[in-house]
Amino acid sequence: MLSAYGTTNQFDVNTASPTLLLSIGFGPDEVAAILARRAASPIRTPTEIPGFASTDPRYANLTMGGGTIWWMRAVRPRLANGQLSDLKRSAGAMIKFLTLEHNPPYEIMRWYGDDPAVESIVPQAAAGGGVQVLGQ
């Protein structure tokens, strides 16, 4: 597969788009099961992938994390009793982790936030890096 980040045949099962999963041979029902599973919590081992079969070559194309670009998101938290908090702010960032020789060893590639107090601080720290700022 060719992407903006190079050529690869390994894709993170936790971030691969439904279209990508379909393109490597998973059927619509299998894709729906993978999406439902990863929505509950990140998939950490191959056996957590719905329908996993070690002899099926499609699963050889899936990895669990370990890439250099991560999407991090903070959303409305749950209280101890399981109910949603009254807090209604959210933030997300696409971060590329660099080698330790870089200072800082990461680059914020994209930022989204709906809290004006935080929004005024975070993107400015990385503004020189061509950050795409979304929200508000």
Query: What's the domain count of the chain?
Result: 2
Q: Please state the φ and ψ torsions of residue 117, each to the nearest 5 degrees.
A: -65, -40
Q: What is the pLDDT of residues 46-98, one digit of tens each?
A: 888 988 888 888 888 888 876 677 778 777 778 889 888 887 777 788 888 87
Q: Which residues contact 8 (CB under 8 A, 6 or more apart)?
A: 1
Q: Report how far residue 72's alpha carbon sits from residue 82's, in angstroms, rounded to the nearest whole number.
A: 22
Q: Report how far residue 83's alpha carbon sits from residue 72's, in angstroms, rounded to the nearest whole number.
A: 22
Q: Report how far residue 72's alpha carbon sits from residue 49's, in angstroms, rounded to the nearest whole number.
A: 21
**Which of the listed residues 41, 63, 85 is the one where a domain comes to its end?**
63
- The answer to whether residues 128 and 98 belong to one domain is yes
Q: Quote the pTM value.
A: 0.50
Q: Report how far residue 38's alpha carbon sits from residue 113's, in angstroms, rounded to the nearest whole number.
A: 23
